[in-house]
Amino acid sequence: MLAPKKIKYRKPQKGRMKGMAKGGDYVAFGTYGLKTLEPGWITSRQIEAGRISIARQIKKIGKMWIRVFPHKSITKKPAETRMGKGKGSPEYWVAVVKPGRILYEVDGVPEEIAQEAFRLCSHKLAIKTKMVSRREL
């Protein structure tokens, strides 16, 4: 699982997810990318599951990039605990994504294989996504 080595604050606040992605909103490294269409949290387990599903499709002929990293810890209180007594302990890590953010990129594979890889990957994620191709500048 992905998790940061060192963080400034152990228990961050929830925050808001309004607006479009500020950065990471275009295909920078590969030929095709998987773009988010709605805001949400993507857990480190979902990122890993998506990575595995893409890697199975592109095999060794293609190259893949993961463009998101889970920097935010999500806390949870133990089951059957009364209210109060402070915030719970960190349980898992999430990446905060906004619409327009590129999650994964692939290169060196035909469009049909990339499309199938991203279709299988999108089933592992909790948000709507679509495949985009690189804009030639």
Number of domains within the chain: 1
CATH of the domain at 103: 3.90.1170.10
For the cut 60, the answer to whether the pLDDT of residue 137 exceeds it is: no
The tens digit of pLDDT for each residue in 68-84 reads 999 999 999 999 999 99
Q: Does the residue 52 lie in any domain?
A: yes
- Single-letter amino acid, residue 92: Y
Helix (H, G, I), strand (E, B) or coil at 131: strand
Q: Does the residue 109 lie in any domain?
A: yes
Q: Does the residue 29 lie in any domain?
A: no
- Binned at pLDDT 50, 70 and 90, residue 136 comes out as low
Structure tokens at 18: 């309004």
Q: Does the residue 85 lie in any domain?
A: no
- Binned at pLDDT 50, 70 and 90, residue 2 comes out as very high
DSSP state, residue 50 = H
Short-list 99, 94, 29, CA closest to 67: 29
* Residue 60 domain boundaries: 42-76+91-133
Taking the model in full, what pTM does it have? 0.93
